[in-house]
Amino acid sequence: MHIKTRNIQKHILELLDNFPAVVVLGARQVGKSTLLKSLLPDAISFDLERRSDFQRVSDDPELIFREADGPYVFDEAQLAPSLFNALRVEIDRDRERKGRFLLSGSSSPQLLNHVMETLAGRCAIVELGTFSWNEGLDKPASAFCTSLSSLEQLKTLPSLNDYAELLAQCLSGGYPEPFLNRGNELFFDQWMESYIQSYIERDIRRLFPTLNLDAYQRFIKMLCFASGDIINLSNFSRSLGVSQPTVKKYIEIMEGTFMWRTLRSYEKSQSKSVVKMSKGHIRDTGLICHLLNIHSVDDLKSHPQYGKIWEGFVIEQILKGLQDHLITHRRHYYRTRSKAEIDLILEGRFGTIPIEIKASYSTSKNQIRTLENFVVSNQCPFGVLINNGDNIYMLSKNVIQIPANFL
Q: What is the pLDDT of residues 208-226, one digit of tens each?
A: 899 999 999 999 999 999 9
Give domain 9-127's CATH number out of 3.30.160.150, 3.40.50.2300, 3.20.20.140, 3.40.50.300. 3.40.50.300
Rg (CA), the chain: 22
Whole-model pTM above 0.75? yes
Q: CA 121 to CA 109: how far, in whole Å?
A: 18
pLDDT at 272 over 70: no
Mean pLDDT of 376-395: 96
Per DSSP, the three-state class of 280 is: strand
From-to residues of CATH 3.40.50.300 in the chain? 9-127
Q: CA 264 to CA 181: how far, in whole Å?
A: 35
pLDDT range class, residue 123, cuts 50, 70, 90: very high
pLDDT number for residue 338: 86
User: Between 271 and 174, where is the model more confident?
Assistant: 174
pLDDT number for residue 202: 87
Q: CA 146 to CA 158: how far, in whole Å?
A: 14
Q: Across all residues in the chain, what is the average pLDDT?
A: 93
pLDDT at 308 over 90: yes
Cis peptide before 403 (omega within 30 of 0): no
pLDDT number for residue 187: 96
pLDDT number for residue 390: 93
Contacts (Cβ under 8 Å, ≥6 apart) of 60:
none
Where residue 175 falls (left for φ over 0; alpha for ψ -120 to 50; beta otherwise) is beta
Q: CA 60 to CA 214: how far, in whole Å?
A: 38
pLDDT at 113 over 80: no
pLDDT at 154 over 80: yes
pLDDT at 301 over 80: yes
pLDDT number for residue 176: 96
pLDDT number for residue 339: 83
- Contact between residue 336 and residue 274 where contact means Cβ atoms under 8 Å apart: yes
DSSP 31: S
- Contact between residue 195 and residue 175 where contact means Cβ atoms under 8 Å apart: yes
pLDDT number for residue 306: 97
Mean pLDDT of 322-330: 96
Mean pLDDT of 97-117: 83
pLDDT number for residue 3: 75
Mean pLDDT of 172-182: 95
pLDDT range class, residue 108, cuts 50, 70, 90: low
Mean pLDDT of 90-107: 91
Q: Please give the span between the terminal C-alpha atoms of the chain, in angstroms, as a whole number.
A: 27
pLDDT at 350 over 90: yes
pLDDT number for residue 251: 95
